[in-house]
């Protein structure tokens, strides 16, 4: 028999004063309660209760065992309550992972979330490649492509575009491209990392003339958006960046769009997490908060295609060939 259940039966008999009353409280038959107590006595090799037709009393061994049972059962109850409370009240450490290219979108989200939920500590890692969420202890990842792991749940949060920008001084000095082919005459600043350097040599664009691929050259390629934007601010060339990372600079006039009718792709911002059931309150709260945040602060409001058409709101990820645009695929799938 289960030892904890037997201990519970024994303690309830002592507290209730009879086997019948204990059976009623535990929703068991009196015979089952008796069997649990007898199982404990056989395991311990000692009598725990003195039984008479009129009353029950604890033996010396029973008194000592009851005191320990009460302590153990109280600790079990406290453990259960603490987990239930964690499920209900948002608190603890939330381990997040985000794609490098989405760091500018995630930063204000975390600032607002931390203000709303001060009892949650954020532990954020930013990577180009998708991490192993289970092995690395990640509660939730914010990425832009579907991973090959079919066990993950995906929920859409927002969207962004990959666009071209440059400083007004650069364009005044070198001229503004009027068509994609003009990019080959400019210093093109590229986002790239080991195993994913295709954008250092060619830029795929979509626009009024349909999809085109333009060969480009430049003196900077990096996987750090701050470095890429910094070079653009200094007038060193034309940068391919995300709409969310350039939003502030575009609004202030520090950067301007290059070939504004063209872009290098529209992508969903998605949240990934490993379990559908028993989602901790901290994860559930972040998911809901992030959804409202991106609805109120769209990273790319000019996108005409509804994101719902690109990504269901929540579903299990299933590997699919061709989901990731070819120019965004590294040697290993990264999101």
Most confidently modeled of 55-64, 86-95, 130-139? 55-64
CA distance 142 to 102: 8
Model confidence over 210-227: pLDDT tens digits?
A: 999 999 999 999 988 899
The Cα 96–Cα 110 span in angstroms is: 10
Beta-carbon contacts of 130 under 8 Å, excluding residues fewer than 6 positions away, are 97, 141, 143, 147, 333, 334, 335
Q: Among 260-274, 288-302, 308-322, name the most confident range.
A: 260-274
Q: How far apart are CA 130 and CA 333, in angstroms?
A: 8
Return d(Cα 189, Cα 258) in angstroms, integer: 13
Average pLDDT of the chain is 83
How far is Cα 271 from Cα 281, in angstroms, rounded to an integer? 16
Contact by Cβ (8 Å): 262, 189 = no
CA distance 122 to 94: 5
Question: What is the spatial distance between Cα 145 and Cα 130, in angstroms, rounded to a whole number?
Answer: 10
For residues 7-16, average pLDDT: 90
Contact 119, 91 (CB under 8 A): yes
Band of pLDDT at residue 229, cut at 50, 70 and 90? very high
Going by pLDDT thresholds of 50, 70 and 90, the confidence category of residue 331 is: very low
> What is residue 276's predicted lDDT score, i.e. its pLDDT?
64
Identify which has the larger pLDDT, 310 or 59. Answer: 59
Residue with tokens 């008194």: 63
Label residue 150 by pLDDT band (50, 70, 90): low
The distance from CA 170 to its chain's CA centroid, rounded to whole angstroms, is 39
- Distance (Å, rounded) from C-alpha 95 to C-alpha 140? 7
Percentage of the chain exceeding pLDDT 70: 84
Task: For residue 170, give the nearest of 183, 187, 184 by alpha carbon.
Answer: 187
What 3-state class would DSSP assign to 21?
helix
The rounded distance, in Å, linking the Cα atoms of 160 and 301 is 8
Is the full-model pTM beyond 0.85? no
Which helix (H) or strand (E) segment holds residue 170: the answer is helix 168-174
- For 13-26, what is the mean pLDDT? 89
The domains located in the chain, with CATH, are: 3-82 (1.10.10.10)
Q: Compare 187 and 16 and report the one with higher pLDDT.
A: 187
pLDDT for the residue numbered 78: 74
> For 68-78, what is the mean pLDDT?
86
Q: What's the rounded mean pLDDT across residues 49-76? A: 87
Give the number of other CB atoms < 10 A from CB of residue 187: 19
Q: Where are the alpha helices (DSSP H) in 52-160?
A: 60-88, 103-116
The pLDDT value recorded for residue 159 is 87
Whole-number pLDDT of residue 149:
57
Compute the residue count for the chain: 335
Q: How do residues 248-272 score in pLDDT, each as one tens digit?
A: 899 999 999 999 999 998 888 999 9
With cut-offs at 50, 70 and 90, classify the pLDDT of residue 312: very low
């Amino acid at each position: 028999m289960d030892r904890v259940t037997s201990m519970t039966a024994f303690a309830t008999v002592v507290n209730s004063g009879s086997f019948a009353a204990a059976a009623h409280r535990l929703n068991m038959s009196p015979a089952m309660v008796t069997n649990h107590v007898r199982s404990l006595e056989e395991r311990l090799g000692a009598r725990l209760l003195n039984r008479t037709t009129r009353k029950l009393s604890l033996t010396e061994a029973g008194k000592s065992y009851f005191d320990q049972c009460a302590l153990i059962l109280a600790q079990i109850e406290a453990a259960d309550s603490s987990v239930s409370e964690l499920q209900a009240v948002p608190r603890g450490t939330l381990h997040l992972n985000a794609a490098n290219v989405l760091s500018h979108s995630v930063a204000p989200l975390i600032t607002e979330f931390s203000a709303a939920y001060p009892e949650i500590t954020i532990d954020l890692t930013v990577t180009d490649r998708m991490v192993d969420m289970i092995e690395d202890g990640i509660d939730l990842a914010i990425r832009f492509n579907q991973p090959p792991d079919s066990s993950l749940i995906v929920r859409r949060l927002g969207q962004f575009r990959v666009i071209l920008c440059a400083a007004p001084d650069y364009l005044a000095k070198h001229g503004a491209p009027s068509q994609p082919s003009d990019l080959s005459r400019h210093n093109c600043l590229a986002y790239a990392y080991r195993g994913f350097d295709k954008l250092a040599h060619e830029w795929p664009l979509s626009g009024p003339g349909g999809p085109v691929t333009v060969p480009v050259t430049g003196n900077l390629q990096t996987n750090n958006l701050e470095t890429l934007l910094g070079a653009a601010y200094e007038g060193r060339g034309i940068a391919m960046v995300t709409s969310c990372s350039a939003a502030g600079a575009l609004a202030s006039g520090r950067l301007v769009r290059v070939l504004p009718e063209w872009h290098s792709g529209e992508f969903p911002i998605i949240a990934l997490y490993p379990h559908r059931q028993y989602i901790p309150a901290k994860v559930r709260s972040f998911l809901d908060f992030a959804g409202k945040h991106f609805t109120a602060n769209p990273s790319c409001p000019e996108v005409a295609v509804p994101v719902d058409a690109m990504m269901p709101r929540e579903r299990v990820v299933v590997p699919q060939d061709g989901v990731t645009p070819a120019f965004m695929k590294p040697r290993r799938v990264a999101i």
